[in-house]
Structure 1
């Protein structure tokens, strides 16, 4: 299987604003913009944040192996590190906004970043949001402002994105509810970060609870309150997602992936993967080949 590269900004194009791009979706497959190192219709990993806005019609968009049906007025945020693919059978009409973490840090207030951070935390939510009014507001303002050559343009674009993302977060009632319990969210973010850093070393939820100085019972309460699952299930889901990503985006053998994920024996990984996915790793890889 051919490796799928991380997708960055087009290196051969001069950017009006460093770390920011704004595209019409239908232009992404023209000769001018079509990438040469990958197919947009095959799974590829982003190394930036993205906002997918559907202006007309209906499409099926794939994010981390799940198909999302999007229609006019829908928007989906796609986080850095996620794998996504355009559906070749769908006619995309709308916009794609992409920006780097460096752009966010430079042109958005830290308090704003903290408040919208959960939008790009794909374990909190990975669903479409219907937001036609502000979608139109953002696309119209971006088109208007990007005609300018003002030295303040990056700050203006950063402010527009901040307002839009804040409004987007308000549209999601579930996230708004979670955000009111900052202590739960703080603990969950600590837990998630530790899992991301150490999942190949341990899958024991009790170890993570100890690391953030709360009881195992309390950690389960936090996870159930934020992502509606137990701490153990969260860890398992994360490991399986990473396994899927490795199977799709690398040419590593199943044995090599097992060791990368921290399994002592490849057979243990095979049993673990099949228990959760009902397919062997090889069977899963073939479904996306």
Structure 2
């Protein structure tokens, strides 16, 4: 929805798009409207390439499937699903998907601190793709429709009252959305075995220095076989595959967000030899580190 960019971004080659207050109705810190073929996002941006935003984007889809990349993970959304992209995250639109539904964008600082905390606006640990059930979807849809009506009604109230009403309507929608996000995470955790949870946390802490399944098993006090069963039950993949995926994700982030030499990127994720890192990355990412970085720049 924005049509301007910050100058120079963060120095990593990825362009950052700020929230365009001047393009919103009445100059308020939010926008809400339809997604569709005649509505463009970031008019001068290459949407099918990776870019960063410094505001929140919430997309509620009427049709699907839609494939969308957020922080180098691909998500597939269907009718009734919600995608929530937070400030600082990189993302990319799919040229093969038709985006249909309603989109909400909001500027950091538009809501008071208490509301920000209550709605978990900066809970980056929560999943970006949400699947509301029928009742949750009805509540979200009604709250979003009310917000759209208030957003477009710029004539019946003074701007200060109009802005206050928008903040209250936006808070109502976000409280529903935050509950959905938190409950989705709790459901996922409830399904996860304690063994896997401990393994996942250990990998998150030590993946840059430890790529050994046996070492993780020993540190956690489990047999390798027990760890394999727990990880496969929770994720469908092997412990080694889980570790490698996390290492690749971190390498991608460093390649995209920094200008570190390839050897330094490899060292940061546990490879003393740059050639070994390049072979590992190409095996798992399907391209060389140099090629991956060039594709994003």
- TM (normalized to structure 1)? 0.65
Q: Which is further off, 84-93 or 128-137?
A: 128-137
Structure-2 change in CA distance of 1:52 and 1:272 (3 Å)? same
Quote the Cα distance in structure 2 between the aligned partners of 1:56 and 1:237.
30
Contact 2:150 2:165 in 1 (8 A): no
Quote the Cα distance in structure 1 between the aligned partners of 2:101 and 2:32.
11
SS at structure 1 position matched to 2:167:
helix
Quote the Cα distance in structure 2 between the aligned partners of 1:169 and 1:46.
23
Whether 1:161 and 2:169 are equivalent positions in the alignment is no
Whether 1:245 and 2:262 are equivalent positions in the alignment is no
TM-superposed deviation, 1:140: 0.3
Quote the Cα distance in structure 2 between the aligned partners of 1:203 and 1:100.
40
Question: How do 1:223-238 and structure 2 match up within 5 A?
Answer: 227-229=235-237, 232-238=240-246
Whether 1:29 and 2:40 are equivalent positions in the alignment is yes
TM-superposed deviation, 1:44: 1.7
Q: What residue ranges of structure 2 are gaps of 5+ in the alignment? A: 1-11, 154-160
Contact 2:86 2:124 in 1 (8 A): no
Question: How do 1:207-218 and structure 2 match up within 5 A?
Answer: 215=221
Whether 1:55 and 2:62 are equivalent positions in the alignment is yes
Whether 1:87 and 2:94 are equivalent positions in the alignment is yes
Quote the Cα distance in structure 1 between the aligned partners of 2:211 and 2:267.
14
Which residue matches 1:149?
A: 162
Quote the Cα distance in structure 2 between the aligned partners of 1:240 and 1:50.
26
- RMSD (Å), alpha carbons: 4.8
TM-superposed deviation, 1:236: 2.1
Which residue matches 2:138?
A: 133
TM-superposed deviation, 1:3: 0.7
Whether 1:9 and 2:22 are equivalent positions in the alignment is no
Which residue matches 2:114?
A: 106
TM-superposed deviation, 1:265: 1.9
Structure showing greater Rg? 2
Contact 2:80 2:131 in 1 (8 A): no
Structure-2 change in CA distance of 1:231 and 1:58 (3 Å)? closer
Contact 1:83 1:245 in 2 (8 A): no
Structure-2 change in CA distance of 1:283 and 1:7 (3 Å)? same
